[in-house]
Amino acid sequence: MGFDVAAAREAFPILQRQVNGKPLIYLDSAASAQKPRAVIDAMRSAMESSYANVHRGLHTLANETTDAYEAARRSVASFIGAAEGEIVFTKGATEGINLVAAGLGARLQPGDEILLTEMEHHANIVPWHFLRERLGVVLRFVPVTDQGELDLAAYQDLLGPRTRLVAFTHMSNVLGTVNPAQRLTEMAHAAGALVLVDGCQAVVHQPVDVRELGADFYVFSGHKLYGPTGIGVLYGRAAALADLPPYQGGGEMIAQVSLEAITYADPPHRFEAGTPPILEAIGLGAAIEWLKGFDRQAIAEHEQRLYARTLEGLAGANWLKVIGEAPGKGAILSFLVDGAHAHDVAQILDRYGVAVRAGAHCAEPLMKRFGVTSSARASFGLYNTEAEADAFVEALTKTQAFFA
């Protein structure tokens, strides 16, 4: 079917603006993607014409909003090959991981092991440290090779009789490495461990089928998927969700409440205490339906061409160091400029209208693994063009001249 980037760009109002007198070149989608008109319109329409709280109302507005909210759940389920009851709406992927950690923590014992990797985002490290601090759980980490791949032999060796959970990123937000999630899951299950996958980056850039993947839990955020902030998704196998205790208490997550006792609702509502992110869920549903109108494979190929074009344009730049060169990686370029701090590089690029991320990218252990404290990162989205890739190369070359 192909992919028409010019037509796709027309859906994003913000791409028409200028920054410092230059056309905006937005290369920070790995942190948060821009929003298409379909998302903006869906959320505005819900606020203007049919907003009310969901599930408990009997009037027209409540019914309309509930229908829209649950339609978003169905869109998410269809998008990743899940059942509707396996989709929990959270305020973000971070909350989804914390939800699972809190639930599992109720039955872990001192000395039980959780296996992570050196390339994890802090969101997939810190909640497990809570269990280490509070319960005496042992954390182990799969090392990363110089190319930016997981050491699979070490992974196999680290799986042991006390491993209760393996949690890993499907695609690194720093390296762009796409991990063999299905294989890692099979190996973990063979060792008797549950599996949680951080899909925040992967679900944006490639089709994800959670049934095929086989993981027990899969999380992602709306704001990286061209949807709004304040909304995330926790997928859990029906049996895995049913085995978790509630994460928070309040309205909606109960079946019955009395002064003497309570009973809980079935998943997913068991994990959606209080008023949920209604408008944000509707916006996420709109983002997914909009994205489903494109050929996902064609988008992936488009993004890969941009990444390859950028590398080609920077070939021979002996002042540039790229972090992460795993085969088949996603369109994320983390880099260092000789003699320059990443923050300074980002600020100078901004003078040319180029938006990149700079810092540790919420991945300090990975930065330490590669012997750096920070890096700059250019991440490509479906709306970026070859002309923008060329302009980035030109702007980065000019930026380097400041430090030569």
Residues labelled catalytic: 362
Which residue carries 């944000």 as its tokens? 280
What count of other Cβ atoms lies within 10 Å of the Cβ of residue 205?
27
Paired sense of beta strands 22-23 and 18-19, if any = antiparallel
150-152-155 Cα angle (round to 5): 95
Whether residue 293 contacts residue 75, with contact meaning beta carbons closer than 8 Å, is answered with: no
The structure tokens listed for 335 are 């880099």
Length of the chain: 404
DSSP character string of 192-219: T-EEEEE-TTHHHHS---HHHH--SEEE
DSSP letter (8 states) at residue 55: S
Q: How far apart are CA 335 and CA 321, in angstroms?
A: 5
Q: From the centroid of its chain, how far is CA 157?
A: 28
Q: Give 107's Cβ-side CA count (13 Å radius).
A: 8
Q: How far apart are CA 53 and CA 62, in angstroms?
A: 6
Paired sense of beta strands 332-337 and 262-264, if any = unpaired
